[in-house]
Amino acid sequence: MRWMKAYLKRHCLGIFLYIIFALIVTVVFYLYHLSVEPVVYAMGLCIIIAIIVLVVDGWKYYKKAEKLERQLEAVKNGVEKLPQPEDEIEYLYQKLLENSKEERIQQVAKIMKEKAEITDYFTLWTHQIKTPIAAMRLLLQQEMIEFEQYYEQKKETESELFKIEQYVEMVLQYLRLNSNINDFVLREYELDSIICQAVRKYAPMFIRKKLILHYQPLQVKVVTDEKWLVFVLEQILSNAIKYTASGQVSIYIEGSCLVVEDTGIGILAEDLPRIFDKGYTGYNGRSDKKASGIGLYLVKKILNKLGHKILVESETGKGTKVKLLF
């Protein structure tokens, strides 16, 4: 009955005037002492005609409202087509909507163009910065051969260089993840080959911090995207190494989950619910002063796109356990 109330509200002025005019005619006939019977008869006919007109017009109003409600869903899919306007007011409203739609399309196109330009720039930047990084690494290797006495300093320099590579890779993956290009290719992979890629990259960090790695071949196959899952494991290993001063990092299977467990400083209970929020660093990140709060945000976003799940269990001072469910 919602449409009926709306229809009566829309035509309330006309109905009110009709009643007023009928009362005026009746009063005039009464004051001039004219016969009321013809008036009653005429009024009865008018009322019948008015009811018929209201019913027919109300039905048309209902069908039009129903059609417009269906258009609300069509708008979401971009296939909306407004009905023909019945008067000048409806025509002007439709022109207003069309102008708003065109303006919105132009604004979206402008935003997408600017986003594409930014993405192209940062993509170019990440590829350009890799060249001096590679050159620096070659120079360091040569200098290490020539000047053994600076070995410790060179190790520190290599460590910082490794961090630069990490940050560059993170920027590139962030841009790819937020672009409109579908870069995910799901296939069946040996989980060991993916783990080995991540471990091999962080092997120098394990050696430098004298951390023990417990890992035995898992002999497990998973359906995933190799490139993106390697990035996820690299981020998890990076955090494990960063926040573990001494002890070990273990990689193993627990039930249907891949587990990466460390014996580091752990995560505060109040920080756990927000560790995947963009830009959130928590107590450990604020202590580290260099945490960006982007790594775990990207991990969560990538795993959602891959259809995988992640669970983090941690206790302050006892370490952290990260579980990946494929």
Return the amino acid letter for 162: F
Of 291, 285, 295, 162, residue with least CA distance to 231: 295
Q: Against a cut of 0.75, is the pTM above it?
A: no
Share of the chain above pLDDT 90, in %: 26
Span 131-174, pLDDT tens digits: 777 777 776 666 555 555 556 666 667 777 777 777 777 777 77
pLDDT for 240: 93
Span 232-244, pLDDT tens digits: 999 999 999 989 9
pLDDT for 134: 76
Return the amino acid letter for 247: G
pLDDT for 140: 67
Of 230, 163, 225, residue with least CA distance to 197: 230
Kindly tell me if the per-residue pLDDT of 205 is higher than 60. Answer: yes
Q: How many CB atoms lie within 10 A of CB 283?
A: 13
Span 15-33, pLDDT tens digits: 788 788 878 877 887 777 7
- The Cα 225–Cα 211 span in angstroms is 29
- The Cα 150–Cα 272 span in angstroms is 42
Enumerate the β-bridge partners of residue 260.
251, 322
At residue 313, the 3 state secondary structure works out as strand
- The Cα 198–Cα 189 span in angstroms is 15
Q: In the 8-state DSSP scheme, what is residue 156?
A: H
Mean pLDDT of the chain: 80
Span 68-101, pLDDT tens digits: 777 766 665 555 566 677 767 777 777 777 788 7
